[in-house]
Amino acid sequence: MRCLAGDIADPAAVAAAIPPGTRVVVHLAAVVSAQAEADLDLGLRVNIQGVLAVLQACRALQQPPRVVFTSSVASFGGGQEAVLPDDARQLPGNSYGAQKAIGELLLQDATRRGLMDAVSLRLPTVIIRPGRPNKAASSFVSAILREPLLGLPTELPVGEDFALWICSPRRAVDWFLHAMTMDTAPLGLDRGINPPGRSATVAKLLQALETVAGPAARALVRPAPDPTIEAIVGGWPAAFTAERARRLLGFSEQESLEEIVQGFIAEDLAATRRERGL
């Protein structure tokens, strides 16, 4: 592996990362939800100029590469009551989601023009993130499970009946690998995919925590309503049908909530402790 550091919005840096002969590009760099909402200029630069830089670098290649783009559930509206079908219109209620939807459209058109072969995965909220909290409005969804597993208290900014569309890191990796190699002919013009995540309420997540780690772990989660966070995540749909990804495109199913907690303990807990000096 060779690591290059650079600004995703800098065309020269991106071209250096996508040299001649590149066959697959996975575009992950982004300014995430709460930060993109707080700083419009930064979001536009990283989330749109960044996609344009990737597009231009791919365009310079002799053979169009497969490009896997990380779009998001946040590119949709609908809120708590929504169960979105595969052809639902993207109507984002925040700048981050709008920037992701714009990225999808740019890459879809580049694909139509034969410049690349793009697949946009609209990731659910990925839990449990290892490491530390980040600037995503959904950061708390991982924190209410991760922090108690580390023995630390944490705050819950929404009610326990709040529902979210989630997936595990393990599932996200599996979907990326599938998107890197899958036959894209069945996609046609429509390059955006809603992968088969799982709808879960905060109460169900906390129940899974208690089942795996006991009531003392659950007791570390304290209610602390936060209207700013609620306003962002409250607009995201909590469920998708995801039939196309499941039945036509061969994306794997999300495992249970208990398995997600157990997966974090098995794969990420020790590393997170080390990283945070706990």
Task: Kindly list the catalytic residues.
Answer: 96
Q: Which residue's C-beta sits nearest to ligand NAD?
A: 30
Judged by the rule CB under 6 A, the positions of this chain that interact with ligand NAD are 7-9, 28-32, 46, 70, 72, 123, 125-126, 134, 138
Residue of 265, 40, 43, 79 lying closest to 158 (CA atoms): 79
Only one residue has tokens 């199913």, namely 253
Shortest spacing between CB 121 and ligand NAD, in angstroms: 8
Report the residue number, 7 or 259, with the smaller CB distance to ligand NAD: 7
- In the bound complex, what is the minimum distance in angstroms from residue 168's beta carbon to ligand NAD? 11
Provide the minimum distance between the beta carbon of 24 and ligand NAD in the complex, in angstroms, as a whole number.
16
The nearest distance, CB 11 to ligand NAD, in angstroms, is 12
Q: Is 87 strand, coil or helix?
A: coil
CB atoms within 10 A of CB 239: 18
Please count the other Cβ atoms lying within 10 Å of the Cβ belonging to residue 221: 23
Site of tokens 């575009």: 27
Nearer to ligand NAD, 9 or 187 (CB): 9
By beta-carbon proximity to ligand NAD, the closer residue of 22 and 134 is 134
> Are 180 and 26 spatial neighbours (Cβ–Cβ below 8 Å)?
yes
In sequence order, what are the residues at sequence separation of 6 or more whose Cβ sits closer than 8 angstroms to the Cβ of residue 249?
Answer: 182, 186, 187, 193
Pick the closer one to ligand NAD by CB: 70 or 90: 70
Q: For residue 128, say if its preceding peptide bond is cis, omega within 30 degrees of 0.
A: yes
Question: d(Cα 175, Cα 253) in Å, to the nearest integer?
Answer: 10
